[in-house]
Amino acid sequence: MRFSVASPDTAIAPALRAKIDQKTKPLGALGALERLALQIGLVQQTLTPDLGDPTLLVFAGDHGAAKAGVSAYPQDVTWQMVENFLAGGAAINVFARHNGLCLQVVDCGVAHDFGARAGLIDAKVAPGTQNYIERPAMSAGERDAALAKGAEIAHRLADAGCKVLGFGEMGIGNTAAASLITHCLTGTPLAECIGRGTGLDDAGLLRKRELLARALARIPACAQRPADGDAARHALDVLAEFGGFEIVTMAGAMLAGAERGMLLLSDGFIVGAALLAAARIAPEVRDYAVFCHRSAEPGHLAQLHDLQGEALLDLGLRLGEGTGAALAWPLVRGAAAFLNEMASFAAAGVDEKL
């Protein structure tokens, strides 16, 4: 697929900064919220942003490498957790409900047949990826199909009036895939990209490191810095070799969401891997991304550094599901609200400093 993502026009930036600075507060007193308000105004190209109809998508997919032991949980937990999402019982359901976010689950490649269900989007490419320790996780055709399905979802939501798209995920073994993607795209040493995921003990962590090193040895070219102008092709190759269908579908939705001028709420480590790949395909996508929290997974720090992202929250979260995005949503809403509703010095009759 080809994506056409343009950076927001900065012509409106001086007016946005002036409006922020004229609010009844000392300059810069709202800290990160001021930067966020500026970003929201730039993305929407307005001095009065509207965050109506926000939607949080949880992308789910299975990984062939999970059966090799890269996770502390069996693969069946993926479909079982999707059922939990659909029943409204997971952490992300609680946080989305209490923060006014519409939640939908996307089956990108779960090894289970859910049938037609309320709140479930069928975007299945295949019932899980191949074991990337032995062979590519997916074919180029499957990768492109996942990108296209993600783009279709984002366009459909944009057509329905959605202006904010939040990202979460579910897939046993997907921290391992995200570790490989992060290493290959950022050059961060592999060991620094690998964490305990769903709670591996020391022996399990050692096994995870050994398995991922074997996967990387199968195709060492993926870890080599691409030639100038080849970053997009390199990212696409890495996604096919090591990605999950949920990661690739997210990347497609991010790229199409940015094309449509949507604000993108990025969650933690696995969502960050999708954003890394999307930013290699179209660097401008970074301008639309809000980095909602810093994950406890060590590789997320490498992602944030590479993407020059400042996280709104640092709560030690490592659950995934989009929980960090949902918890940060009130801050995003607050940034738009103060820009729209807070009085200026002139309107309030308050003297500015001498």
- The catalytic site residues sit at 321
181: which 2 tokens? 């993607």
Which residues, 6+ apart, have CB-to-CB distance to 69 below 8 Å? 204, 207, 208, 211
Report, in angstroms and rounded to the nearest whole number, the Rg of the chain calculated over CA atoms.
Answer: 20
User: Cα separations (Å) of 131 from 146, 148, 201, 211, 335?
Assistant: 18, 23, 22, 11, 43
Residue 87: count of CB within 10 angstroms of its CB = 10
- Residues 6+ positions from 10 with CB-CB distance below 8 Å: 42
- Is the CB of residue 351 less than 8 Å from the CB of residue 119? no
Q: Fill in the amino acid letter for 262.
A: M
Q: Which of 306, 66, 59, 317 is nearest to 192 (CA)?
A: 306
